């Protein structure tokens, strides 16, 4: 498995850091890795926030849900702060790489836009499934963000349980996910895998995702049964590897 991406690899580090304090110069590989880590965590904070509000979003008895982009954003900011210690309400003063600041601000804006586009649908009474789930949120937000920033950002999964072909992993991502999916791999939610390419042109960052209780309704068992979205369930178990958020940042 390693052989497939060895020519590309210079370093593979597991970063458990959470404070994000860096001392190196602007645009260094370390800063880019930290920026990628924060972008992945912010996309995941949006996914988690959609997941936490799923019952409200899907409630057929209720018309106006009050789940506005602003309400959503405040919850995302709180979730992100709990995981990273970083306050997006006060981005300028945060001890993070300068390059990360405009990117995080824009990713938050794009996240709000996704929730904004679903407002008419989620406020309809009598409809159970509105199409706004963590994965559609992640797919749509990351594509718009990437168009604006040219920073590669996506959620992906191994081919054996890939649902949306737009999320298909490349060779690097497949190899990294084999490592992350190994049961012996530490299940630390803040642990990322990252690497710098041989010519020092770019860094890649992978944040693993694991099935929590809120995922099992769709990705759990019985395998082959249809979930509420019409997709086939994968038979995933609590705590098992589900996929990853992948970021690639150019250093030049």
User: Among 62, 101, 163, 179, which residue sits at the site for ligand HEC (rule: CB under 6 A)?
Assistant: 163
Q: Does 157 help bind ligand HEC (rule: CB under 6 A)?
A: yes
Q: What is the CA radius of gyration of the chain?
A: 18
Q: Does 135 help bind ligand HEC (rule: CB under 6 A)?
A: yes
CA angle (20, 22, 23) in 5-degree steps? 165
Considering the complex, what minimum distance in angstroms separates the CB of residue 189 from ligand HEC? Answer: 11
Considering the complex, what minimum distance in angstroms separates the CB of residue 180 from ligand HEC? Answer: 11
For ligand HEC, the closer of residues 164 and 202 by Cβ is 164
For ligand HEC, the closer of residues 53 and 155 by Cβ is 155
Handedness of CA 134, 139, 140, 142 (dihedral sign): positive
Backbone angle region of 11, left / alpha / beta, with phi > 0 → left and psi within -120 to 50 → alpha: beta
Q: Does 122 help bind ligand HEC (rule: CB under 6 A)?
A: no
User: Among 136, 146, 149, 202, which residue sits at the site for ligand HEC (rule: CB under 6 A)?
Assistant: 136
Task: Give the interface segment with ligand HEC, choosing from 85-93, 112-120, 152-160, 186-194 (CB under 6 A).
Answer: 152-160
Whole-angstrom distance, CA of residue 160 vs CA of residue 236: 12
Q: Does 117 help bind ligand HEC (rule: CB under 6 A)?
A: no
Residue with the two structure tokens 């300028």: 92
Whole-angstrom distance, CA of residue 119 vs CA of residue 67: 8
For ligand HEC, the closer of residues 200 and 217 by Cβ is 217
Residue with the two structure tokens 């509105």: 130
Q: Which residues contact 219 (CB under 8 A, 6 or more apart)?
A: 161, 211, 227, 233, 234, 236, 242
Structure tokens at 145: 């963000």
* Per-residue x/- track, 6-45, ligand HEC (CB under 6 A): ----------------------------------------
For ligand HEC, the closer of residues 27 and 210 by Cβ is 210
Considering the complex, what minimum distance in angstroms separates the CB of residue 243 from ligand HEC? Answer: 3
Residue list 47-66, contact with ligand HEC (CB under 6 A) = 51
Whole-angstrom distance, CA of residue 62 vs CA of residue 106: 31
User: Among 60, 95, 212, 239, which residue sits at the site for ligand HEC (rule: CB under 6 A)?
Assistant: 212
Q: Which residues contact 90 (CB under 8 A, 6 or more apart)?
A: none
Q: Does 167 help bind ligand HEC (rule: CB under 6 A)?
A: yes
Whole-angstrom distance, CA of residue 119 vs CA of residue 194: 36
First-to-last alpha carbon distance for the chain, in angstroms, is: 29
Enumerate binding residues for ligand HEC (CB under 6 A): 51, 133-136, 139, 155-157, 162-164, 167, 209, 211-212, 214-215, 217-219, 227-229, 231, 242-243
């Amino acid at each position: 498995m390693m052989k497939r991406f060895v020519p590309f690899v210079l370093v593979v580090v597991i970063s458990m850091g959470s404070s994000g304090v860096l001392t190196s110069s602007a645009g260094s590989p370390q800063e880019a890795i930290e920026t990628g880590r924060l972008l992945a965590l912010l996309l995941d904070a949006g996914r988690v926030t959609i997941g936490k509000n799923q019952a409200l979003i899907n409630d057929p008895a209720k018309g106006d849900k009050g789940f506005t982009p602003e309400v959503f954003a405040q919850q995302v900011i709180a979730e992100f702060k709990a995981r990273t210690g970083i306050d997006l309400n006060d981005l300028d003063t945060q001890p993070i790489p300068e390059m990360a600041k405009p990117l995080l601000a824009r990713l938050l804006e794009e996240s709000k836009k996704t929730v904004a586009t679903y407002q008419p649908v989620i406020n309809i009474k009598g409809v159970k499934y509105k199409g706004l789930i963590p994965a559609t949120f992640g797919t749509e937000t990351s594509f718009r963000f990437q168009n604006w920033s040219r920073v590669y950002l996506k959620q992906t999964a191994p081919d054996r349980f890939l649902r949306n072909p737009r999320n298909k992993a490349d060779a690097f991502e497949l190899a990294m996910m084999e490592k992350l999916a190994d049961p012996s791999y530490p299940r630390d939610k803040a642990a990322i895998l990252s690497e710098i390419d041989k010519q020092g042109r770019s860094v890649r960052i992978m944040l693993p995702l694991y099935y929590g209780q809120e995922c099992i309704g769709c990705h759990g068992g019985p395998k082959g049964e249809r979930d509420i979205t019409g997709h086939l369930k994968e038979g995933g178990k609590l705590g098992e590897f589900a996929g990853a958020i992948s970021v690639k940042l150019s250093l030049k």
